[in-house]
Amino acid sequence: MPKLVIIYGTSMHNTERMAVAIEEGAKTEGIETVLKNVNEANKNELADADAVAIGSPNYNHAMMPTVKKFLKDLSDIDLSGKVGLSFGSYGWSFEATDDINKILTSYNMEMVKDLLVKRMPGDEELELCRRVGSLLACKIKK
Ligand SMILES: Cc1cc2nc3c(=O)[nH]c(=O)nc-3n(C[C@H](O)[C@H](O)[C@H](O)COP(=O)(O)O)c2cc1C
């Protein structure tokens, strides 16, 4: 069964809300999903994933240090050809998702368009996150 792994950092739960909605959308397509806060994530879970979504809010013009460390530690896992998504909540700038994209691209992942929500996602934004999750699932089901 196709597998999507979603790993996120969050401080005030906005990026977490996005992550939960992405998983909800993916599940409607009947794929296997794993959803973990980066503090509880194990990089080995990514080895047999078909798609990986990494989320981080923007803090002080950067992604959360815990997410950055997790991404750097992935260098010994073969991620090439896997589908990637970066996502996160922000206030006024986009460094976190830009940097996630850069790192995952350097691992030869095939990135889809990133998903950004300003501050707390409302109903519309959560629906968008569900749609992206479902599209990601469809992409890896093919
Ligand atoms: C101390 C602090 C620093 C922040 N720095 C940035 C920043 O540099 N750029 C930005 O776009 N938003 C910044 N924000 C806003 C957060 O990205 C925003 O509140 C986001 O929704 C937090 O996501 P989370 O709930 O997943 O932690 C900052 C917020 C705080 C409290």
> Does domain 3-141 bear CATH number 3.40.50.360?
yes
Residue to mutate, 90, 94, 118, 129, ligand 1, most ligand atoms under 8 Å from C-beta: 90
Quote the pTM value.
0.98
DSSP H stretches of helix in 38-122: 65-72, 95-106
Residues 13-35, mean pLDDT to the nearest whole number:
98
Mapped onto helix, strand or coil, the DSSP state of residue 87 is strand
Give the residue extent of every domain in the chain: 3-141
* Integer Cα distance of 136 and 32 in angstroms: 12
Name the strand (E) or helix (H) holding 111.
strand 110-111
Mapped onto helix, strand or coil, the DSSP state of residue 35 is strand
Could you report the per-residue pLDDT of 64-123, keeping only the tens digit for each?
999 999 999 999 999 999 999 999 999 999 999 999 999 999 999 999 999 999 999 999
Residue 132: which pLDDT band, with cuts at 50, 70 and 90? very high
Percent of the chain with pLDDT over 90: 99
Q: 119 CA to middle of ligand 1, Å?
A: 8
